[in-house]
Structure 1
Amino acid sequence: MDGNTHYSIGELARLTGLSVKTIRYYSDRGIVTPAGRTSAGYRRYGTDCVARLGLVRTLRELGLGLGTVRAVVDREVPLPEVAAAHAEALEVQIRVLRLRQALLAAVAERRLTPEETDLMHQLARLTDDERRRLVDDFLHAVFGGLALDGVARTMTPELSGEPDAAQTRAWAEWAALAQDPGFRADLRETVREVAAESPQNGLPRRNFTAAVRDLVAPALAAGLAPASREADPIVAAVTAEHTGPEELLPRLRRLNDARRERYVHLLAVINGWPAPESPAPALDWAAEAVRVRTA
């Protein structure tokens, strides 16, 4: 094959893997130029067009616009600069697609209403500053004036600069939950109890929910019925852990709020923590054990 070899548009299509229509389109726009025409007016292309169209195909498959492709193949702009700018633009598109995928998955799984979907979409698109203000507002509503900064830190979401789809989805759901006035009020009541049980240095005496889970775990493992006489020592130990102003049974039921468990789960996803153990089985068991003894 020499430099005088000319190809018909059909031959060029077979050599490059592009369609005749596409090559004609590129030719009409000056991306490739015919070396000449036959007596019948058919275009003929030189061997240089094979390599040029190969480069054009690669750049187009990478998503570059036709104007940019032409500038690159004509050596008007350096390819590394174009690649860097395009990679940055693709990163933005990837984040947008990740957000869309996360929200659609949440809508399907949580069976959200159109109004809830709209709210989650707005929350997921917040800027870093807007997210910080939302978190600060929530923490103030729940912990304000109670001198429990250490506890507040364990309840604070820290969304990374490059969240994955699961973290993005968890953040949007967390933000919606954190704005629920009823949830805020219930969590505030729980935090007040923690503060009431804390020494003067502001550190909690012991996490009551964790204490119940640990105390009841052996009973659950053994299949011990809450109403059985063998459960009496466990109920006594749970009662001893309860020092707050609220009655024990209402407290156990309130702590078993599904929203609270969901909050802790979402927090773990956002912060990249291990999945927490659900306290629900232990709280259910303890609540029933207390109920049958106070009925």
Structure 2
Amino acid sequence: MDGDTLFTIGDLARRTGLTVKTIRFYADCGLVPPTDRSPAGYRLYDVAALARLDLVRTLRELGLELAVVRRVLDREVTVPEVAAAHADALEVQIRILRLRRAVLRAVAERGSTPEEMDLMHKLAKLSDDERRRLITDFVDDTFGGLDANAEFVDLLRSAAPELPEDPEPEQVHAWVELAELAQDPDFRAAVRRMAEYQAAERAEGDRTGLHHDLTEAVRDAVGGALDAGIAPASPEAAAVVDTLTARYAQTFGRADDADLRHWLLARLEIAGDPRTERYWHLLSVVNGWPVPPSLAPVFGWFTAALRARSAQ
């Protein structure tokens, strides 16, 4: 192509696919000024202007604002720098759009009211740091200032909700319910009572930490009783209770007597709030973890059996 060739604004429109009006606008705002004018006063553009217009069109199609395009053309920033910054901005926009899509799907499945949809959207678009802060505030409010079970508190703090960038509707539902639960004053008061109980136990010398082995022992023993159809108040339940109280006595260094059973009953009732288990269930759904089976039937049976045994 001859470097001296000049193009009319119509030629540029045909070559670039832009409208004459758009090219005229770019010329008027100084992005792609004409190279020359014809004797009749019409704008003429050379090959360099055509290349500049192609760049403007490409950058605008990528969503860059005119001010950014001008900085690229004036060599204040490079195209790679702009592309990197714009890609980061698009990542944020894509994440927001995915969350909106998930919220809308959740609303469609749930039949939510406008108020529920607004709450869902507000909670779903929180950043990861904001979600962690919400849980941190919950832990600080319920365990703050108390020498409670340190391993349990560390577990609560480390198990932060991390909603994926493209969540499923059930994950949005779970996060909204989890956020509401963590902010529920009644639930916070119940967890605070549990923290106070743990602190009192530690003041008495308890340093046993978490009790996964005990939980497994209760699950196995009571699970077998449930499978066998043994009622909590039946004579057959007594052997299960005796086996488990002996295990608790060994773990906590206590005598297996009536005082232990009263202590254990109080312990189970303090820890038996079903909302606590619901908290961990919701957290698992949000984070895409395997949801653990409910222990409510197991510990419900054990509590009822222990109460019946203690009343004898």
Question: Normalization by structure 1: what TM-score?
Answer: 0.66
Shift of 1:202: 2.1
Q: Distance in 1 between matches of 2:263 and 2:305?
A: 18
Q: Deviations over 1:58-110 (max 9, x none)?
A: 22233321122123123344445544554565566567667766766777777
What is the 5 A alignment of 1:115-130?
A: 117-118=118-119, 121=122
Alignment-mate amino acid for residue 180 of structure 1: D
1:155 partner SS: helix
Does 1:26 pair with 2:38?
no
| 2:60 is the alignment partner of 1:60 | yes
Q: Distance in 2 between matches of 1:273 and 1:192?
A: 32
Unaligned runs of 5+ in 1: none
- Equivalent pair of 1:99/1:124 in contact (CA under 8 Å): yes
Change (3 A) 1:100 1:238: farther
Aligned pairs for 1:145-224 (under 5 A) are: 145-157=146-158, 164-165=164-165, 174-191=178-195, 200-204=205-209, 206-207=211-212, 211-217=217-223, 224=228
- Other-structure match for 1:261: 277
1:138 and 1:179 in contact (8 A); partners too: no
Q: Aligned pair in 2 of structure 1 residues 203, 247: CA closer, same or farther (>3 Å)?
A: closer
Q: Which amino acid aligns with 2:23?
A: I
Q: Deviation per CA, 1:266-286, whole angstroms, max 9, x where unpaired?
A: 54577x68434132xx42255
User: Is residue 225 from structure 1 mapped to residue 229 from structure 2 by the alignment?
Assistant: yes
What is the CA–CA distance in structure 2 between the aligned matches of 1:143 and 1:231, rounded to whole Å?
43
Matches of residues 19-98 of structure 1 in structure 2 within 5 Å?
19-36=19-36, 43-83=43-83, 85-86=85-86
d(CA) in 2 for partners of 1:76 and 1:116?
A: 44
C-alpha change, 1:36 and 1:273, in structure 2 (3 Å) is: closer
Letter in 2 for 1:278: P
Query: Quick one: distance in 2 between partners of 1:205 and 1:218?
Result: 24
Q: How many residues align?
A: 288
Identity %: 42
Q: How big is each residue's C-alpha offset from its partner over 1:10-41, in whole Å with a ceiling of 9 and x where there is no partner?
A: 44334324344432322332222334456776
| Deviation of the 1:246 alpha carbon | 6.7
- The answer to whether the Cα contact below 8 Å between 2:96 and 2:125 also exists between their aligned partners in 1 is no
Change beyond 3 A, Cα 1:240–1:68: same
Q: Output one character per residue of 1:122-175: Cα deviation in whole Å (capped at 9) or x when no partner.
A: 797589699659725633524643441121111114659x97445x96777545
Change (3 A) 1:77 1:235: same
- What runs of 5+ residues in structure 2 fail to find an aligned partner? 249-259
Q: In the TM superposition, what is the alpha-carbon distance from 1:180 to its structure 2 partner?
A: 1.6
What's the RMSD between the two structures over aligned residues?
5.1
> Which SS does the other structure have where 2:157 is aligned?
coil
Q: 2:290 aligns with which of 235, 254, 275?
A: 275
What amino acid does structure 1 have at the position aligned with 2:156? M
Q: Are the equivalent residues in 2 in contact too, given 1:37–1:44 (CA < 8 A)?
A: yes
* SS state at 1:139 partner: helix
The amino acid across from 1:260 in the alignment is T
Q: Give the whole-Å Cα distance in 2 for the aligned partners of 1:28 and 1:278.
A: 68
Q: Which moved more, 1:4-13 or 1:98-107?
A: 98-107
Match of 2:256 in 1: none
